[in-house]
Structures are given as structure tokens and as C-alpha cells.
Amino acid sequence: MLVMSQAVDDLKLGYLAIQAEFINLAELKWCLQVQAEAQPPPPLGKVLVREGYLAPRDLEYLFMIYHARMKDSGGTPTSPPDPLLMAPELTIERIERAVVARLGRALRSGVFGRFRVLEQVGRGGMGVVLKAVDERRAEPVALKLLVGAGGATVKDIERFKKEAAIMAQVRHENIVQIYDVGREKGLDYIVMEFIDGVSLAELLDERLPTVEETISIGRDIAGALEFIHNRGIYHRDLKPANVMLENTGRAVLMDFGLAVFDKFEVKGPRTGSVGTPQYQPPEQAEVGGRYGKIGPWSDVYGLAATLYHLLTGAPPFEGTDRAQIRRLVLTSEPRPIRDLNPRVPERVAQVVEKAMAKRPEDRYATPAELKKELEALIAAGRPKHQQQPPPRRGWFR
């Protein structure tokens, strides 16, 4: 057996476990963390078995493969040497790059399990999103592969899968439909409704929506929030990137990765910060702080902050880093909407700004209350002083 340091042995064993589709990248990182926290650190193989990722016979198989690969270090015509296994020192960063590259090659083949891949439509911290055809369904689906690259942890993935399984029971026209949660080739995946449109963040890259469109979007998402709140589900991360706008004009609430279920004061964190700084309410910027508990009014603020961006072209608060933005959220007022866009009718600005009040008791208490106000604006007819958008492009064509 080739003599190596324990760390190199362990990383190569972990790399082989990923190649053999026993574990994914996030699970390897988790087991390395468990190993590092133990005294003395056990071999990685024992950690993989103890954490339930491998059976003892699986570990024996990996050791057999490892020794065979190392013995045949020159490779064969049908099996060239793996540069990562031959490297004097292997790092988790090199493994991550190799895993991502391997996934890219696999997806270019156009097939992933029972799915026929059509195109990649997004990439985020949790993984990659594909437009695909599911052999179980007639229409295209959005297939989210939870790769575990970057800062994503196995706990993040497990939480996301659990929440996706719960959200699969939710049916509402303005909430993305979850069809399935599963695992293929060592990767966890989520199958979702495919929304033929763009996120509000992408829309903002092209143009400001009209005031009328903004009110309609707000009404749709307020209705979606009312629906999930009545079922004890709270989103906690309202922002333009988490709302899709379909070609038909339907707004769809997405991404429940930070959602909590049941009551905030029981399930939520007691300190710290929750959500995206530019759109989070003060009680989420400083959990357990001066602004009190997180509640339904917190999603009201998040939606209003999103509408503020749609009306003005900028989020309520901006800064050089997350900490500075959170300080502004806690201590400052955003610029009045009509100062940034005088074409916004005064009543529209009043409704959005009230929903963004610093103190929760000064806002609309529930999404239902905000929805009622937005419906009243729609019923009043098209605002007289409405901005004219530039020529429509992208999803409007």
C-alpha cells in the first residue's frame, strides 16, 4: 500500500465515494467536519459508515477500488489514470472543481436519470436548475440538482429537501408547485413546476415594470403569502429573485429555503439575522432585538421592500457590505418612493411605505390586509400618472 498522510488517504477515499455515487460533495464536507471535531480524529471511512452514508461492505468495496487504482497508477487504454488520485496532495477545492466539471459533462449528454435535459436555466448556492422533460409528465419541469458546492452544507440540503417535501402538499396558483423530491447518481434533486418567464430580478435588469404591473404582482404574492400563513408557513426571504413573472403576467412565489413552519417564536432562531439584508425587516435583521418577534408582518415588509424596488429601480437600502445594510435597516428610513420616481401615484407610495414601517405594529398586520389595499388600488383603475416602460424585450417578445 502506498504510504500517505491520513488526510490525503481520507480525501482520496472521499473522492472515490463520490465517483461511486455513494455520497455527494456536501456529505463529504460534513463527514470531514465530523472527523475534524473528534478526538482523536477517526479514519474517514469509519465516519462515513457511522453517519449512515456507507455500509461496511461499501467501505470494503471502496478500499478495493482504491488499492487497485493506486497499484495501476499508469492506467490502461480503457481506464486512464485519474490525476486527482495520483496527486501528491489532494484538497477539497480540487475535488469540488472535479465534481462540478463531471456534472457538466454528464448534463451535456442530455440525460439525468428519468429526465431528458433541455437546458440550464439557473445556478445558485444550492445547485443548478435545469429545464427538463420528466418521463412521468407531459409538460417540461424545472429540475433542481442540489450539488453541495460552495458554502452549501449537508444540513442546508436536508432542510431544503424537507421543506420541499412539505411544500409539495401546497396547491396555490401563485406558489410554485413541487412535484417530487428524490436522489439520482448520488445527487439529491427537486422536481418543480417550470415557470415560463423571468424572475423580478431579471426583469429589473431590463426595465422597471409599470405601476399597474407592480400592483398586480403585489396582489398575487400577497395572496400567496396569505395562503401559506393560514397553514403555518412563513417565507422570510421575499425579494425580486424569489418571485417569477410568467409570460401570462402571473406572479409566482419561489424558493422556500428560509421558510419556517409552525410558529416563529418556537421554530426560529433566537439571535442573529434571517433573510437578505436589502429586503429584510428590522426584526429579521436583529432577531430577538428591539423590534420584537418575527411574524406575518415580517413577510408583509419583505413584499413591500420588493415592490419598492419595482417602483424605484433600487432596493430600500444599499451599502458596501451586509453589516452596513443591516445597520441601515435598523436605524434609517428609506428614501420616499416619490422622491425617486415622481410618477408613482401618492396613494400607491403610501400603501407600500406603510407596509415597510420600521415598527411591526405600524405596518399592515397580515398579507391579507395588504392584499385588500392593493385590490382597492386595482379597482380604482389605472393610475393617471404612470410611467411608460421602454420597448418590451426578453420574455415579452
Query: Looking at residues 34-56, what average pLDDT do you find?
Result: 93
Least confident of 156-160, 190-194, 261-265: 261-265
If you average pLDDT over residues 16-32, what whole number do you get? 90
Annotated catalytic, 237? yes
Q: At residue 395, does pLDDT exceed 50?
A: no
Q: Which residues pair with 233 in a beta bridge?
A: 261
Banded pLDDT at 176 (limits 50, 70, 90): very high
Cα–Cα distance for residue pair 72/85, rounded to 1 Å: 11
Overall average pLDDT of the 338-364 stretch: 97
Once rounded to an integer, what is the mean pLDDT over residues 159-184? 86
Question: What does pLDDT average to over the chain?
Answer: 85
Q: Which residue among the candidates 10, 237, 255, 299 is catalytic per the annotation?
A: 237
**How far apart are alpha carbons 237 and 214 in whole angstroms?**
18
Q: In angstroms, rounded to a whole number, what is the distance separating the alpha carbons of residues 114 and 291? A: 49
Residues 282-287, mean pLDDT to the nearest whole number: 91
**pLDDT over 80 at 308, yes or no:** yes
C-alpha distances (whole Å) from 338 to each of 27, 208, 243, 313, 335 are: 50, 15, 24, 12, 9
The three grid cell numbers given for residue 129, joined into one nine-digit string: 436548475
Provide the pLDDT confidence category of residue 74 given band limits of 50, 70 and 90: low
Are residues 164 and 178 in contact, defined by beta-carbon separation less than 8 angstroms?
yes
Which runs of E-coded beta strand occur in 73-126? 111-112, 115-123
Top pLDDT among 52 and 261 is at 52
Single-letter amino acid code for the residue at 197 = G
Domain 109-193 sits in which CATH superfamily? Phosphorylase Kinase; domain 1 (3.30.200.20)
pLDDT value for 7: 37
Instruction: Tell me the pLDDT band of 173, cut-offs 50, 70 and 90.
Output: very high
* Residue carrying C-alpha cell 423580478: 200
Q: 382 pLDDT exceeds 60?
A: no
Q: Is the dihedral of CA 82, 83, 87, 93 positive or negative?
A: negative
**Alpha carbon 159 to its chain's center:** 11
Instruction: Please name the amino acid found at residue 275.
Output: G
198-396 to CATH, choices 1.10.645.10, 2.50.20.10, 1.10.510.10, 3.90.1560.10: 1.10.510.10
Residue given cell 417569477 in the structure block: 244
| Domain assignments of the chain as residue spans, ordered by start | 6-92, 109-193, 198-396
31, pLDDT greater than 80:
yes
